[in-house]
């Protein structure tokens, strides 16, 4: 049996297959860059290395079928690999012809028997026997051989025929196999191309799977996020639901409440409907009444219009009346005298009893003199000067009696009688004093300059009169005047006037001005007095001018001034006694009118100067030894300014009497220069003479009384005052 040569596929062929399958494969691998795909490709290659059923067919050359005519010896593979030759059919074994190893190719009679016949390579038929002896045997033998040969030939022919038939059969088989092979090759090619396609599809599928995986992971992430979002939403919705439920519960409660209310209201509604019907009936009745009233109203409206017109006329009359009142008030003040003098005697104080206990004839220590006790009253009687107030109706007189010893030793009694515009006894209250002063405060709001002095020796009650004590009843002239001005300003609003109030507070110490309301260091700033001749106003440079909004504010300003003065005081020197203090309240008003009645635009500017003068005692009384130079200087300065004040008032009096261009020595002191505009012209001046009730101060009191009388006899303007002196 011949076998088909086994054709193995070599690695180049595999490469060929691979190259057929894959010129695009590596590039795809490179393009994808995917390790996984590479692994798949390696796996593919390994799969290709596996032995296959079709590999025995040989390399894929479908276009070259096997050649049936090629002998086994000549058969080689296309790659030069030798294949086994087809097996030659074996001839029947010849037992007689041992030397013949192979049959002759053709059977021909030999013409030269001597010649060795080479039947087969290496074998030679020998012809060395003698031809004669052996001719018959040879012929016989030859014949035998010939017959044998013939039979061999025949056998051989038969074998050849059989062989040819076998060959033919083999060829047929080969052809069939080749056909099969071709068919299989085609199938293989088809299968390979399918495989390639499948591989491509596989790669595509891998890519797609990869993409799908990515997409899937993205989708999974999206889904997870979505789930989280949904979870959040669910939580929110749950929270909303919870809130909604609670809202719903509340709403349910509200609804039930409302239902109850509705049921109540429907009941009320029914009641109201009934009432409404009743009211409608009433309304109809009222409508008819309204008609009656409407006619009445129209009548009243006419009357009201007439009344309003009348009111406006009255308002106009009132404003005109206000002008008349001002004029009359001023005339009254002028008639009273533009310089007036009040005298006020303070009561004896417990401190006086302590101070002058040595002078008491009655025994007993000062500590035993409790207030209101008989001893104290007795002591007061002893200490008190002989003062009398005979004018019990008009309170205009004060009489002082004194006794002195003459050179001959005779006791001489003297009586001094003084008359003033008003004399206040020790029991007089602050309110009573102010009642007389309040008219001057009124003049101030009418646009006049007013000046009120408190004059007297140290401890006579000047500060008490001007500033007063802490309590309401003890409030002095300054807070009361301010309060009055505020009250008048607010009352005047109804008459069409609007006021602005400003205040300043200064002291004159040793002819130097100090700002008691200033914020800087006390006693350091230099201030100058400036007069405006056109407006008649006076201004002090660098002085703190405070806009006043309420009386309480003025009280706190007084406290500030007091504290600044206390800082400047020394143990030896009570500042308030040694300096003049001047509180100035400036009032500016404009007539803006009232509703329905336009203002006249009239303006007025007035000022109220409340002056607490320094102690008026004489130098030799205060400082008998006169060693303290500073205090001597203070006293000289005080005396100078007080005498300058007296000179100015006297000059004004002379001018009033005689007229003409009498020189008024305002510039002789800071005090008179400061008060220049408040002492002259249309100004009104009041001097409050404060007296000590003590007998010990009698001489000082008499000096003060004489000075005050001099002032009281002075006339400024039209009115002239009379006075009586002893």
Ligand X SMILES: Nc1ncnc2c1ncn2[C@@H]1O[C@H](COP(=O)(O)OP(=O)(O)OP(=O)(O)O)[C@@H](O)[C@H]1O
Known binder of ligand: residue 463?
yes
Question: Residue 170 or 617: which CB sits closer to ligand X?
Answer: 617
Annotated binding-site residue? 228: no
Nearer of residues 482 and 694 to ligand X, judged by Cβ: 694
- Strand 339-345 relative to strand 422-424, pairing: parallel
Count of chain residues binding ligand X (CB under 6 A): 16
- Our CB check for ligand X shows the closer of 576 and 669 to be 576
DSSP assignment letter at 602: -
Residue choice 342, 464, 583, 666 for contact with ligand X (CB under 6 A): 464
Residues in the chain: 726
State the DSSP string of 389-410: ---TTT--EEEEEEEEE-TTS-
* Cβ 703 to ligand X shortest distance, Å: 15
Question: Is 275 one of the annotated binding-site residues?
Answer: no
Which of 459, 589, 653, 656 touches ligand X (CB under 6 A)?
459
Q: How do 529-532 and 537-540 pair as beta strands?
A: antiparallel
Q: Least distance (Å) from ligand X to the CB of residue 565?
A: 10
* 58 touching ligand X, by CB under 6 A: no
Query: Considering beta carbons, is residue 468 or 656 the nearer one to ligand X?
Result: 468
Min dist. Cβ of residue 544 to ligand X (A): 23
Pair 590, 497: CB distance under 8 Å:
yes
Question: Does 461 carry a binding-site annotation?
Answer: yes
Is 641 near ligand X (CB under 6 A)?
no
Judged by CB, which is closer to ligand X: 344, or 721?
A: 344
CB of 531 to ligand X, least distance (A): 28
Contact 706, 341 (CB under 8 A): no
Please select the residue that binds ligand X; options are 22, 58, 337, 456, rule is CB under 6 A: 456
Which range of residues in 2-10, 32-40, 156-164, 343-351 is near ligand X by CB under 6 A?
343-351
The reply to whether 468 sits near ligand X by the rule CB under 6 A is no
Strands 684-691 and 449-456: parallel
Among 5, 447, 461, 717, contact with ligand X (rule: CB under 6 A): 461
Give whole-number Cα distances, 501 to 345, 547, 680, 683, in Å.
Answer: 32, 6, 22, 18
Give 334 or 574: the residue with its C-beta nearer to ligand X: 574
Neighbours of 627 (CB within 10 A): 8
Of the listed pieces 108-116, 151-159, 298-306, 572-580, which binds ligand X according to CB under 6 A? 572-580
In contact, 653 and 675? CB cutoff 8 Å: no
Cα 220 to Cα 226: distance, rounded to the nearest angstrom: 9
**String of b and e for 19-30 (b: at least 16 CB within 10 Å)?**
eebbeebeebbe
Q: Which residue among 438, 442, 443, 463 contacts ligand X (CB under 6 A)?
A: 463
Q: Which stretch binds ligand X (CB under 6 A): 333-341, 367-375, 457-465, 520-528?
A: 457-465
- DSSP secondary structure code for residue 289 in this structure: H
Task: Confirm or deny that 459 is annotated as ligand binding.
Answer: yes
Q: How far is the CB of 527 from ligand X (least distance, A)?
A: 22
- Helix H segments across 660-725? 670-674, 676-679, 698-712
Q: In the chain, what's the furthest Cα-to-Cα distance?
A: 247
Q: Which letter, b or e, does each residue of 653-676 get, where b requires 16 or more Cβ atoms within 10 Å of its Cβ?
A: bbbbeeeeeeebebebbbbbbbbb
- Report the nearest approach of ligand X to the CB of residue 385 (Å): 15
Q: Is 635 in the site for ligand X (CB under 6 A)?
A: no
Q: Return the sign of the alpha-carbon dihedral for residues 376, 382, 387, 391.
A: positive
462 binds ligand X (CB under 6 A): yes
- How far apart (Å, rounded) are the C-alpha atoms in residues 531 and 358? 51
CB 671 within 8 A of CB 641: yes
Instruction: Choose, by CB under 6 A, the member of 23, 26, 92, 347 that binds ligand X.
Output: 347
What character string, x for contact with ligand X (CB under 6 A) and - otherwise, covers 611-630?
Answer: ----x---------------
- Rule CB under 6 A: say whether 381 interacts with ligand X: no
Which of the 8 DSSP states describes residue 509? E
Taking CB under 6 A as the criterion, the residue among 443, 577, 678, 712 binding ligand X is 577
DSSP-derived letter for residue 669 is: S
Give the C-alpha separation, 646 to 644, whole Å.
Answer: 5
460 annotated ligand-binding residue: yes
Among 432, 574, 602, 605, binds ligand X (CB under 6 A): 574
User: Quick one: which H or E segment has residue 590?
Assistant: strand 580-591
DSSP letter for each residue of 61-117: -TTSPPPTT--TTT-B-TTS-B-PPPPPPPPPP-SS-SS--S--SS----S-SSSPE
Shortest-Cβ-distance residue relative to ligand X: 461
Match 């400082």 to its residue by tokens. Answer: 623
Contact segment (CB under 6 A) with ligand X among 137-145, 386-394, 443-451, 452-460 equals 452-460
701 part of the interface to ligand X, by CB under 6 A: no
Nearer to ligand X, 156 or 346 (CB): 346
Instruction: Tell me the closest approach of the beta carbon of residue 642 to ligand X, in angstroms.
Output: 12
* Residue 349 within binding range of ligand X, rule CB under 6 A: yes
- From first CA to last CA, the distance across the chain in angstroms is 193
Q: Quick one: which of 458, 591, 669, 712 contacts ligand X (CB under 6 A)?
A: 458
Among 346, 527, 586, 697, binds ligand X (CB under 6 A): 346
Work out the number of other CB atoms within 10 angstroms of the CB of residue 298. 10
Q: Where are the beta strands (DSSP E) in 239-346?
A: 339-345
CA 394 to chain centre: 70
In whole angstroms, the minimum distance from the beta carbon of 611 to ligand X comes to: 12
- Please identify, using beta-carbon distances, which residue of 419 and 459 lies nearer to ligand X: 459
Binding site residues, ligand X, CB under 6 A = 346-347, 349, 456, 458-464, 574, 576-577, 615, 690
Annotated binding site: 456-463
Query: Which residues are known binding-site members for ATP?
Result: 456-463
């Amino acid at each position: 049996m011949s076998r088909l040569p086994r054709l193995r596929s070599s690695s180049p062929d595999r490469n060929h297959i691979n190259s057929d399958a894959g010129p695009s494969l590596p590039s795809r691998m490179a393009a994808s860059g995917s390790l996984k795909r590479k692994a798949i490709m390696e796996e593919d290659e390994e799969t290709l290395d596996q032995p296959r059923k079709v590999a025995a067919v040989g390399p894929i050359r479908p276009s070259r079928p096997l050649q049936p005519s090629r002998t086994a010896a000549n058969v080689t593979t296309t790659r030069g690999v030798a294949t086994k030759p087809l097996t030659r059919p074996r001839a029947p074994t010849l037992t007689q012809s041992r030397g013949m190893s192979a049959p002759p190719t053709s059977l021909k009679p030999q013409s030269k028997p001597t010649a060795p016949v080479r039947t087969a390579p290496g074998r030679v038929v020998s012809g060395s026997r003698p031809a004669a002896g052996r001719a018959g045997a040879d012929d016989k033998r030859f014949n035998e051989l010939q017959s044998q040969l013939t039979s061999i030939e025949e056998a051989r022919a038969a074998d050849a025929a059989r062989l040819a038939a076998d060959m033919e059969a083999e060829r047929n088989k080969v052809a069939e196999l080749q056909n099969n092979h071709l068919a299989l090759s085609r199938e293989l090619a088809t299968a390979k191309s399918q495989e390639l396609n499948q591989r491509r599809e596989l790669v595509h599928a891998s890519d797609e799977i990869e993409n799908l995986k990515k997409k899937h992971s993205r989708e999974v992430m999206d889904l997870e996020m979505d789930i989280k979002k949904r979870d959040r939403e669910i939580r929110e919705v749950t929270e909303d639901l919870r809130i909604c439920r609670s809202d719903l519960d509340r709403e349910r409660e509200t609804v039930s409440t409302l239902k109850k209310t509705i049921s109540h209201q429907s009941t009320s509604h029914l009641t109201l409907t009934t009432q409404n019907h009743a009211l409608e009936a009433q309304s109809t009745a009222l409508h008819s009444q309204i008609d009656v009233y409407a006619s009445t109203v129209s009548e009243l409206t006419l009357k009201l219009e007439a009344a309003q017109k009348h009111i406006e006329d009255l308002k106009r009359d009132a404003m005109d009346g206000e002008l008349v009142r001002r004029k009359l008030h001023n005339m009254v003040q002028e008639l009273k005298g533009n310089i007036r003098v009040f005298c006020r005697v303070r009561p004896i104080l417990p401190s006086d009893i302590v101070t002058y206990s040595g002078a008491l004839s009655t025994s007993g220590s000062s500590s035993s003199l409790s207030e209101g006790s008989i001893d104290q009253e007795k002591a007061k009687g002893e200490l008190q000067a002989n003062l009398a107030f005979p004018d019990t109706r008009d309170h205009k007189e004060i009489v002082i009696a004194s006794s002195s010893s003459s050179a001959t030793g005779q006791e001489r009694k003297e009586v001094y009688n003084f008359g003033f515009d008003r004399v206040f006894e020790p029991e007089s209250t602050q309110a009573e004093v102010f009642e007389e002063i309040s008219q001057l405060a009124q003049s101030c709001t009418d646009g006049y300059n007013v000046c009120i002095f408190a004059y007297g020796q140290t401890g006579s009650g000047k500060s008490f009169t001007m500033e007063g004590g802490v309590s309401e009843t003890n409030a002095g002239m300054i807070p009361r005047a301010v309060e009055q001005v505020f009250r008048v300003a607010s009352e005047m609003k109804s008459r069409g006037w609007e006021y602005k109030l400003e205040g300043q507070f200064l002291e004159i110490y040793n002819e130097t001005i100090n700002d008691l309301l200033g914020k800087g260091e006390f006693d350091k700033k230099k201030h100058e007095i400036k007069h405006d001749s056109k407006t008649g106003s006076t201004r002090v440079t660098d002085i703190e001018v405070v806009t006043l909004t309420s009386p309480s504010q003025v009280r706190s300003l007084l406290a500030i001034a007091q504290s600044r003065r206390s800082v400047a005081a020394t143990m030896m020197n009570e500042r308030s006694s040694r300096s003049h203090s001047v509180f100035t309240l400036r009032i500016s008003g404009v007539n803006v009118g009232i509703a329905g009645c336009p203002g006249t635009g009239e303006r007025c500017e007035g000022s109220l100067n409340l002056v607490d003068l320094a102690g008026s005692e004489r130098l030799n009384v205060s400082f008998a030894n006169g060693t303290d130079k500073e205090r001597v200087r203070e006293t000289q300065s005080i005396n100078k300014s007080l005498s300058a004040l007296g000179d100015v008032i006297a000059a004004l009096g002379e001018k009033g009497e005689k007229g003409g261009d009498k020189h008024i020595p305002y510039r002789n002191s800071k005090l008179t220069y400061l008060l220049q505009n408040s002492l002259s012209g249309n100004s009104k001046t009041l001097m409050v003479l404060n007296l000590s009730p003590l007998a010990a101060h009698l001489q000082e009191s008499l000096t003060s009384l004489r000075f005050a009388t001099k002032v009281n006899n002075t006339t400024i303007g039209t009115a002239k005052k009379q006075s009586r002196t002893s």
